[in-house]
Chain A
């Protein structure tokens, strides 16, 4: 089941713009290794779920996978063959807005080569270029 909020204040949202780079959430904070996004834009709940499945299936319940993003934003669309007007369409899917530098997934409790392969599989499910990063110890 793809991620989506349990409760929302407003059913539909405007598209918005994603400006700048990630100023928070850009460091590995929970696990030992992470996957950092090198693009800015939307990542859908389905893509996040595909990434989670790719990582957990590869790890065989070894290690721990952390998902560092959540699809808070509903995206609406009009049904096919509908005339324009008559108000905004219904929410179709949910997306997470990410900015360049954000850490998307983290893995802890496994060796580096295992984490690297697992995160490479996750990266294939992501719509933007990603890179493997390690946790910084000390300065």
Chain B
């Protein structure tokens, strides 16, 4: 079987999520400004960090007086998962090193999940198309939130916060093509569930990578 894919396939797949990402971008812009981060700093952060949960963590820790070190540690812990995620797509991305590094910055949970073909394979064009749309939505939303204030109200009120786990669920179900994959999923979910009350945010996702160890024996 041969798949012909285009960047626009990634764009199309990511559009419904881009709406939710835009809404959260707006609420991040509003929140970061209210947290005293100024106007330019949150915008620059969205263009360079491009990781919603980490950026929300920084704004909330700084605004509650938690201090710079705590804010950075919280954000970095939330982003550590991008090391193993990057490893999984390494062979999918461009051969040229500068291009590959640039493409790696477009890897976020949603673009990574959408580009997953199963069995450890990923589609580079879907990853880039989806990543670019989500990047524009996040950066654009942040700008709108900083300049325009709260245009959409609370995104949670519109149920936007449920859109993300639903997407991950849909993509997860497509992944369960073998017994081993099902075991890894069950174990990964269980680890995250057990770790959430005890660990800092971000740690449960890293801990869930341990579920990959079931691949040690089986192929």
Pairing of A with B:
no
A→B interface (CB under 8 Å): none
